[in-house]
Amino acid sequence: MTKQKDLITMSKQNNADVFAKIEEETRTYLKGDNLRIAMDLLAYLRESGRTWIMSKYHPEFYYMGELSCLIAYAKTDYDEATLAKIRQQIEEAGNRYVYYPSSSWNLCCWQHDDDIYEPDDFPVDESLKDFARENVWKCISCGGCDVPGGRRRTVFGKVFDNACCNMFQLVNPDDEMLVHIKALMELEKHIIADSKKK
């Protein structure tokens, strides 16, 4: 959970100037369909009740103090040796390997501890359930968090024992994926709000 001092910092940064910097960085590193889709998502995030900061490494978006998602840009091409190592780690974990060239972006989302379920008052389409289950990112022990080997998470009834702290890592999502992403983020708002009542 985000600390109070972090929320104070966040509130100071949650302004048009910071958002303009996020858009500027997006235009700097992306082009074509990747740029169009990323800008569409940014517009949704801005209007969805989330707050945002520009961290040292990435634009980050929060809902009710919980980290909802971050956006990572491929700022340089990897050399072949690095790509081979990354591919091996990803495939050994059972993830779908995606080449990550320059002018690419990676949407990392659902970073809080809540599992994903269908609330009684928030019906969820079966296609969204399938999308979520199929795209859970399995831990590759990258050292980015304090839980090597991953976390036990439940996604619409299916248990994953090795989910990454970034439960979804979606590289260069297309228009169809964006529809599911927005629907998942609307569900996320509902689940976070419910967890705050407990």
pLDDT in tens, 93-132: 888 766 666 788 999 998 888 899 999 999 999 999 999 9
pLDDT tier at 5 (50, 70, 90 boundaries)? very low
What is the pLDDT at residue 100? 67
Distance separating alpha carbons of residues 1 and 147, to the nearest angstrom: 16
What is the DSSP code (8-state) at residue 46? H
Averaged over 12-40, what is the pLDDT? 90
Q: How many CB atoms lie within 10 A of CB 150?
A: 21
- Percent of the chain past pLDDT 90, that is, above it, reads 57
* Summary mean pLDDT of the chain: 86
Q: Are 151 and 85 in contact (CB under 8 A)?
A: no
The C-alpha angle 174, 13, 146, rounded to 5 degrees, equals 65
Q: What is the pLDDT of residue 103?
A: 80
- Cα 68 to Cα 15, 59, 126, 139, 145: the distances in Å are 18, 11, 22, 18, 16
Domain boundaries, the chain: 4-197
**Mean pLDDT across the stretch 6-28?**
76
Going by pLDDT thresholds of 50, 70 and 90, the confidence category of residue 14 is low
For residue 120, the one-letter residue type is D
Token pair of 179 as six digits: 């529809």
Higher pLDDT, 169 or 98: 169
pTM of this prediction? 0.85
Q: 92: exposed, middle or buried (C-beta count within 10 Å: 0-12, 13-18, 19+)? A: exposed
Average pLDDT over every residue of 38-63 = 93
The answer to whether 164 and 47 are in contact (CB under 8 A) is no
- Are 139 and 164 spatial neighbours (Cβ–Cβ below 8 Å)? yes
pLDDT band at 8 (very low <50, low <70, confident <90, very high): very low
CB 160 within 8 A of CB 152: yes
Nearest CA to 170 out of 184, 181, 183 is that of: 181
- H/E element holding 197? helix 175-197
Q: Determine how β-strand 51-54 pairs with β-strand 59-63.
A: antiparallel
Residue with tokens 């800008």: 39
Mean pLDDT, range 31-48, rounded to an integer: 96
Pairwise CA distance, residues 155 & 25, whole Å: 32
pLDDT of residue 90: 82
Cβ 82 vs Cβ 147: under 8 Å: no
Structure tokens at 12: 């100071």
